[in-house]
Amino acid sequence: MRSTEPWRSFAVDLACTRCERELALDTAHNLCECGAPLSVRYDLDAAGTLWTREALRLRRSDMWRYREVLPVQRAENCVSLGEGMTPLLELPRLSAQLGGRRLLLKEESLNPTNSFKARGMATAVSRALELGLKHLAVPSAGNAGSALAAYAARAGLRATVLVPRDTPAAFVEECRALAADVELVDGLIHDCGKRVAAGRETQGWFDLSTLKEPYRLEGKKTLGYELAEQLGWRLPDVIVYPTGGGTGLVGMWKAFEELEQLGWIAGRRPRMWSVQTQGCAPIVRAFHAGEERAAAWENAHTFALGLRVPVAVGDFLMLRALRESGGNAIAVSEEEIATAGRELASTEGIFASPEGAATWAALRRLESIEALGDASTIVLFNTGGWYKYAEGWRRVLEL
């Protein structure tokens, strides 16, 4: 059955995540004047009164089923390719290696353009359309660029994607096929970000960099809503999440807070574990040093390109979520990722992205050092598919 409910969002304004400055929704914004990310606020008291979990039964089976807590104001501005409501898969054979703990995997490779980036870009492009923006730009390690290109094409907007020169050809060709302008930049993703900042001033681009605008975060938070719904409104004990720019981790933490305010969940939130690689681990280093900000990582390198993020504007938000949750942060090696990727594929039939494989590598290590405590339900995230990383996988699987 199809719902006849009208489209409604309970979004009321934007607030700075550091200084709490308030800004209106009807104007396009990047960072706050203080340099921190902005976040959408909702009238959750009204939402909790007028919107119920039972209403979801008649909803579309994508992330827009949660439209009341998404920022898009009008249905005609929703730019969608069917993103969200990805499977939450049981991993029974790998669970047996964890002494009977229940292990699940959120399979994000089934999103449009083969990654979780579709969630954030669907929301950001929808709001860009709603706000009358014409030319969007993003620095990317690959997947974010593909997602922007697809959603901009769907919306009839222009897109420019900046990627490091060593980005695998599959990402570049996909972006170009989707009509995006692609620029190859010498350096890493933060160097691409500098080029976007320059283009914003000289070419009128709107910057969709991770957490440098408020709406990609809102799409990513639907990971948390879906996880709660798929588990019968009970949250897992531990979430193991691959962390680059951090919108997924920060977004889920925001979702859990909103769900509590709505009265839809109760009890302890999951312990959040951030996974990075030994070749680029700024959040891990800052977490264990007790720092509130993460210094830039020098000479970043890893074939898990989504984790090759030397510096992140939302570093303090990631560290805050890890500490508030009672979680932790861990870095794994390329060899561990290769072993984990092979094991996920051969044991459970899931050939993950390197970032997804890194979560199983981390969990294997955590179990070996008895760091999981009494956790009975654990969720891993595979944030994308393998095939765009074919060159990297071929190289490391020969180790």
Same domain, 106 and 131: no
User: Is residue 223 in some structural domain?
Assistant: yes
**pLDDT at position 5:** 78
Q: Which domain holds residue 38?
A: 11-77
Spatial separation of the C-alpha atoms in residues 308 and 210, rounded to whole Å = 13
Spatial separation of the C-alpha atoms in residues 57 and 62, rounded to whole Å = 12
User: Is residue 174 in some structural domain?
Assistant: yes
Helix (H) or strand (E) holding 49: helix 44-50
User: Is residue 157 in some structural domain?
Assistant: yes
**pLDDT at position 398:** 77
Helices (H), 158-214: 169-177, 189-202
**pLDDT at position 288:** 98
Spatial separation of the C-alpha atoms in residues 328 and 284, rounded to whole Å = 8
User: Is residue 153 in some structural domain?
Assistant: yes
Same domain, 195 and 328: no
CATH, residue 103: 3.40.50.1100
**pLDDT at position 399:** 55
User: Is residue 1 in some structural domain?
Assistant: no
**pLDDT at position 4:** 65
User: Is residue 4 in some structural domain?
Assistant: no
Same domain, 168 and 232: no
Out of 207, 232, 259, a domain closes at 207
Same domain, 230 and 106: yes
Spatial separation of the C-alpha atoms in residues 369 and 132, rounded to whole Å = 52
Which amino acid would we find at residue 298? E
User: Is residue 169 in some structural domain?
Assistant: yes
Same domain, 65 and 102: no
User: Is residue 341 in some structural domain?
Assistant: yes
Neighbours of 368 (CB within 10 A): 8
Same domain, 311 and 374: yes
Query: pLDDT 10s per residue in the chain (399 long)?
Result: 345 678 999 999 999 999 999 999 999 999 999 999 999 999 999 999 999 999 999 999 999 999 999 999 999 999 999 999 999 999 999 999 998 899 999 999 999 999 999 999 999 999 999 999 999 999 999 999 999 999 999 999 999 999 999 999 999 999 999 999 999 999 999 999 999 999 999 999 999 999 999 999 999 999 999 999 999 999 999 999 999 999 999 999 999 999 999 999 998 999 999 999 999 999 999 999 999 999 999 999 999 999 999 999 999 999 999 999 999 999 999 999 999 999 999 999 999 999 999 999 999 999 988 899 999 999 999 999 999 999 899 988 875
Same domain, 221 and 93: yes
Same domain, 58 and 103: no
Spatial separation of the C-alpha atoms in residues 16 and 31, rounded to whole Å = 8
**pLDDT at position 2:** 47
Same domain, 127 and 72: no
What separation, in Å, do the N-terminal and C-terminal C-alpha atoms of the chain show? Answer: 52
Same domain, 239 and 357: yes
Same domain, 226 and 172: no
Report how many domains make up the chain: 3
Same domain, 197 and 242: no
